Chain A
Amino acid sequence: MPTFTHGEVSIDVDEDGFMSEPDKWNETVAAAIATTEGVEGLTEEHWKVVNYLRDYYLKFGVAPMIRKLCKETGFKLNKIYELFPSGPAKGACKVAGLPKPTGCV
């Protein structure tokens, strides 16, 4: 299993860089993963998305419907792509420490 190392952070990840053990996530880990997603420095707007995804995941065990993410954060989809260039499912969810989405997603 590959290991991702950035500064003091060292975590197990899958082939696409998603965390293998999502419960080891913390804000430092998020900032480290963000560097792999073309995000240098997480702003308040990034955290708004990440925290919403994280909270939803802890409550429901999966990412929310993308439309719901947009509505709850007040960001349109293109704004989310501006914040996370690989998009909500592959970019934002990765930074929020969610496992890689499976199936037709």
Chain B
Amino acid sequence: MATEVLQQDAQAPARAATLYHIENPEVENKAERFLNAFAAVLHFTDYKALLDSYCASSAKCGRCVASCQVYQVSRDPRDIPCYRSNLLLDVYRRHFTVGGWLKAHIGGGWSLTDALVDEMADIFYRCTACRRCTLECPLGIDHGLITRLGRYILSMAGIAPKALQVSVREQLEGETRNTSKLPEPALVDTLEFLAEEMAESLGVKLEFPLDQPDRDYGFFCAVSDYLMEPDTLMGNAAVLYAAGDWDRWTIGSRNFDAINYGLFYSDWHLERIIKRLVGEAKRLRAGTLLIGECGHASRSACQFVPVFAGQDELPVKSFIEYTLECIEDERIHLDPDIVTEKVTYHDPCNIARSGWIVEQPRRILRSFVKDFVEMTPHGRTNYCCGGGGGLVSMDETHEWRMKVAGRVKAEQIRATEAEIVVAPCANCKKQLKELVDYHELPCRVMGLHDLVLRAIDIPGGKSARQRQDEAALAATA
């Protein structure tokens, strides 16, 4: 059935425009390049066993339609997760199995065309890689993994979103070694600015530790935090200071970006970015990788440092886990009378459904937020923000993310009647802030540590109550 659909699509005269910019759109001999890339991936990786297993089951039952928030809105059959997976499985069956080869040579078969490669390039990026469909598949097919494999092969054939490629190239080959091209002097200037802000608001004079060797924690956040999220960073710093750990952490000047877009489209880049991260920790002789608020960065570090770091492996901890430990060990105090707004929590897919962080942020929030409300559903069955899988960094996908991929999320947030949506992820925050504007939702989006920053008492500095009183006074003045 799927083969017939593929052939029809190949003959279709008009094709919906690809959602994203491709750096070199005029790649020639796409089908040949795709098959060569596919062959190389099968030769050098373990994906063959996985594809054989998936081909032996099915990818056509369609149970996954109920779980996909893209399909729920678009109603486009191309957005059904198993339809998408079957595109790649069909190419595998035809070109990389004996049965497929025989069938093609006896007659009635088909061969991969450039048009089918274009079709895959469209469809594999109409998915937020949230992996919610894996909850439904009765055969245990991981459609998110197949989508990533499809994107990986496409990228090896020269087809990948420009936004991801440009960022990763700068991170691995550029002078700044980070995805936002933030040079070291700008990092230093930003850290000085944050220290001034903290001195003003929290009443403590601090210097951010840069390149300090032999510290317990090497801190890596999404580099975009240094441009966009001062309260998240100051919240992180406030916890470290209040817990008495100010002399136990450091930022590295040679690599301070935890973003790993390889997770979204290329195992080859994923591995190299992980090795860069570990290399910086090793240079600093840091004990543990402490990863800031970011879903995919936390997941890629936690799950792939053990895979790729070899003998340089070191423990990985999410900042959320660190803060919860500080609260439960009573090393920091959060004032429960400061945050009185209704607060809800958005689970980033990469650390909830695909990870290990579901209860920890809720325990943090419940320890100081009076009015906490859950979304429905939440936790491992949460809906994606609608910008996952790297889509949020492609501005050109904005309208689609607002109208299609993020619509279910927008309705879900509205239903909570929350005033504050907490999302501990750079990707999710950007998408959710855009959703709030676009759908005119009556709430604000912030990081988890932005809220912690409001409630934390600073030993030797100002208490949360004192800061709140001062702010109230300033507002009436």
In the bound assembly, the distance between CA atoms of A14 and B6 in angstroms comes to 34
Which of A15, A63, A65 counts the most chain B CB atoms within 10 A? A65
In the bound assembly, the distance between CA atoms of A103 and B197 in angstroms comes to 25
Interface: B404 (CB within 8 A): no
Chain B proximity of A80: nearest CB distance (Å): 13
Cβ-closest chain B residue relative to A60: B186
In the complex, what residues of B have CB within 8 A of residue A24's CB?
A: none
**Pair B181/A61 contact, Cβ less than 8 Å:** yes
**Pair B189/A102 contact, Cβ less than 8 Å:** no
**Pair A68/B180 contact, Cβ less than 8 Å:** no
**Pair B179/A60 contact, Cβ less than 8 Å:** no
In the bound assembly, the distance between CA atoms of A63 and B193 in angstroms comes to 14
**Pair B190/A65 contact, Cβ less than 8 Å:** yes
In the complex, what residues of A have CB within 8 A of residue B186's CB?
A: 60-62, 64
Cβ-closest chain A residue relative to B230: A67
Q: Which of B380-417 contact A (CB under 8 A)?
A: 392-393, 395-396
Given contact pairs A103-B259, A104-B392, A60 touches B230 in the complex (Cβ within 8 A): no
In the bound assembly, the distance between CA atoms of A65 and B227 in angstroms comes to 4
**Pair A102/B227 contact, Cβ less than 8 Å:** no
Interface: B102 (CB within 8 A): no
Which of B183, B230, B427 has a CB less than 8 Å from the CB of A104? B427
**Pair B183/A61 contact, Cβ less than 8 Å:** yes
Cβ-closest chain A residue relative to B188: A60
Q: Count how many pairs of residues, one from A and one from B, have CB atoms less than 8 Å apart in the complex.
A: 78
Which of B163, B185, B395 counts the most chain A CB atoms within 10 A? B395
Given contact pairs A16-B395, A90-B395, A103-B393, A66 touches B180 in the complex (Cβ within 8 A): no
Cβ-closest chain A residue relative to B426: A104
Q: Which of A27-62 contact B (CB under 8 A)?
A: 60-62
Interface: A74 (CB within 8 A): no
Of B218-226, B245-253, B348-356, which stretch is located at the interface? B218-226
Number of interface residues of B (CB under 8 A): 35
**Pair A103/B230 contact, Cβ less than 8 Å:** no
Chain B proximity of A23: nearest CB distance (Å): 16
In the bound assembly, the distance between CA atoms of A50 and B392 in angstroms comes to 26
Q: Which of B204-234 contact A (CB under 8 A)?
A: 222-224, 226-228, 230
In the complex, what residues of A have CB within 8 A of residue B197's CB?
A: 67
**Pair B392/A62 contact, Cβ less than 8 Å:** no
**Pair B21/A15 contact, Cβ less than 8 Å:** yes
Question: A interface, by DSSP: helix, strand, loop or mixed?
Answer: loop
In the complex, what residues of A have CB within 8 A of residue B193's CB?
A: 65, 67-68
In the bound assembly, the distance between CA atoms of A89 and B224 in angstroms comes to 12
**Pair B179/A104 contact, Cβ less than 8 Å:** yes
In the complex, what residues of B have CB within 8 A of residue A15's CB?
A: 21, 162, 396
Interface: B115 (CB within 8 A): no
Chain A proximity of B422: nearest CB distance (Å): 18
Interface: B300 (CB within 8 A): no
Interface: B170 (CB within 8 A): yes
Q: List 17 A-B contacts (CB under 8 A).
A: A15-B21, A15-B162, A15-B396, A60-B183, A61-B185, A62-B182, A62-B186, A65-B227, A66-B227, A102-B180, A102-B393, A103-B179, A103-B181, A105-B180, A105-B227, A105-B228, A105-B393
- Extra A-B contacts (9), CB below 8 Å, given A61-B185, A61-B186: A62-B186, A64-B189, A65-B226, A103-B222, A103-B257, A104-B180, A104-B223, A105-B227, A105-B430
Question: Which B residues have a C-beta under 8 Å from some C-beta of A?
Answer: 21, 162-163, 166-167, 170, 176, 178-183, 185-186, 189-190, 193, 197, 222-224, 226-228, 230, 257, 259, 392-393, 395-396, 426-427, 430
Question: Which A residues have a C-beta under 8 Å from some C-beta of B?
Answer: 15-16, 60-68, 89-90, 101-105
